[in-house]
């Protein structure tokens, strides 16, 4: 029985994937939905340490994908969006204590205009000694609502400011995790090594380093839930954009052919079970969307996830 159990654990580990986590605020009771307790984070760090997970830089993971190396299922990457001052005040020392690297995605306008709730350029420079820097736009707009020229102007302004303060950004994270083909084309033209979204999921050898999923680590950290995500290879065919009449008519997604059943989630409409035929999920949904920002998720029984966000312009 013990050998069977050990064999099962080994088999499961083969199908595990690396995980990228995204955090925002730390110990900030004003914004519980985007804040993480440093006490909970310390407990999570201890779990990772005791279970021999390896916290690596985002660039190390990106290089492995670029060079088509195997992805260690024990790899963990931490990213912090928006560069709130609570990271510098409350969390930086914890990352330093555990010698865990991180990537700070800089909201450049906040630093440039000295917004009180955000890190200064000096604090960013100090923090960069212990982690990496990424770009997170200048004005933190909803990029899908901008023209390609406006997106490029915003990004160029961001990169110029980072250069001015001797901060190098090789990665970009979309504000609010929102993007479409127009946004992707504009951002990718800057030659970033890595582009990240905010779709829940994991990272495998099949992942694109220009569309990496991240798991939000906010509120009370559920270790089992945080680490149970696996990568699901999926090609999203429909919808491509938010429907003008606000009615989501068709959903069509290509997945691996061995998948026969899947669960589908649409914001405001909950979960439903869907049959998969020859690797194609094809569903006449035909329901009115209930918000301007809609998340669509597909999930297999063994916790493989893929998701897409569509946003009304």
Q: What is the mean pLDDT of each run of 10 residues along the chain (313 residues)?
A: 36 65 96 95 97 98 97 97 98 98 98 97 98 98 97 98 98 96 97 96 96 91 90 96 96 97 97 97 96 96 95 90
CA distance 102 to 43: 17
Decide: 19 and 47 in contact? Cβ < 8 Å.
Answer: no
Whole-model pTM?
Answer: 0.92
Same domain, 151 and 200: yes
Same domain, 138 and 269: no
> Count H helices, E strands: the chain?
10, 18
Same domain, 109 and 244: no
Q: Give the number of other Cβ atoms within 10 Å of residue 236's Cβ.
A: 17
- Spatial neighbors of 265 by CB under 8 A, at least 6 apart, are 271, 272, 295, 296, 297, 298, 299
| pLDDT, position 218 | 85
Same domain, 71 and 160: yes
CA distance 159 to 218: 28
Same domain, 123 and 271: no
CA–CA–CA angle 292, 298, 302 (5° rounding): 150
Same domain, 24 and 118: yes
CA distance 255 to 260: 10
CA distance 282 to 231: 21
Q: Give the number of other Cβ atoms within 10 Å of residue 160's Cβ.
A: 11
Same domain, 259 and 218: no
Number of compact structural domains in the chain: 2
| pLDDT, position 16 | 65
């Amino acid at each position: 029985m013990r050998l069977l159990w050990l064999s099962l654990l080994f088999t499961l580990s083969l199908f595990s994937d690396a995980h990228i986590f995204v955090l925002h605020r730390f110990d900030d009771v004003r914004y519980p939905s985007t804040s993480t307790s440093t006490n909970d984070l310390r407990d999570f760090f201890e779990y990772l340490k005791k279970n021999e997970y390896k916290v690596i830089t985002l660039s190390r993971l990106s290089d492995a994908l670029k060079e088509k190396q195997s992805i260690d299922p024990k790899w963990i990457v931490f990213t912090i969006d928006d560069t709130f001052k609570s990271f510098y005040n409350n969390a930086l020392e914890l990352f330093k204590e555990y010698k865990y690297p991180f990537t700070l995605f800089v909201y450049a306008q906040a630093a440039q205009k000295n917004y009180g709730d955000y890190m200064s350029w000096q604090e960013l420079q100090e923090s960069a000694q212990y982690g990496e820097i990424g770009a997170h736009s200048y004005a933190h707009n909803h990029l899908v609502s901008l023209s390609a020229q406006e997106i490029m102007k915003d990004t160029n302004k961001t990169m110029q400011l980072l250069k001015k303060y001797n901060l190098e950004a090789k990665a970009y994270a979309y504000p609010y995790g929102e993007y479409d083909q127009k946004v992707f084309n504009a951002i990718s033209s800057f030659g970033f090594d890595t582009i990240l979204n905010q779709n829940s999921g994991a990272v495998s050898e099949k992942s694109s380093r220009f569309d990496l999923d991240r798991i939000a680590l906010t509120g009370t950290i559920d270790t089992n839930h945080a680490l149970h995500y696996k990568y699901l290879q999926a090609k999203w065919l429909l919808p491509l954009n938010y429907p003008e009449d606000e009615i989501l008519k068709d959903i069509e997604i290509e997945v691996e052919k061995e998948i026969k059943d899947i669960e589908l989630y649409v914001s405001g409409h909950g979960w439903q079970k869907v049959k998969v035929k020859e690797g194609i999920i094809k569903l006449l949904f035909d329901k009115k969307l209930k918000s301007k920002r809609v998340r669509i998720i597909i999930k297999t029984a063994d916790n493989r996830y893929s998701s897409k966000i569509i946003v009304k312009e």
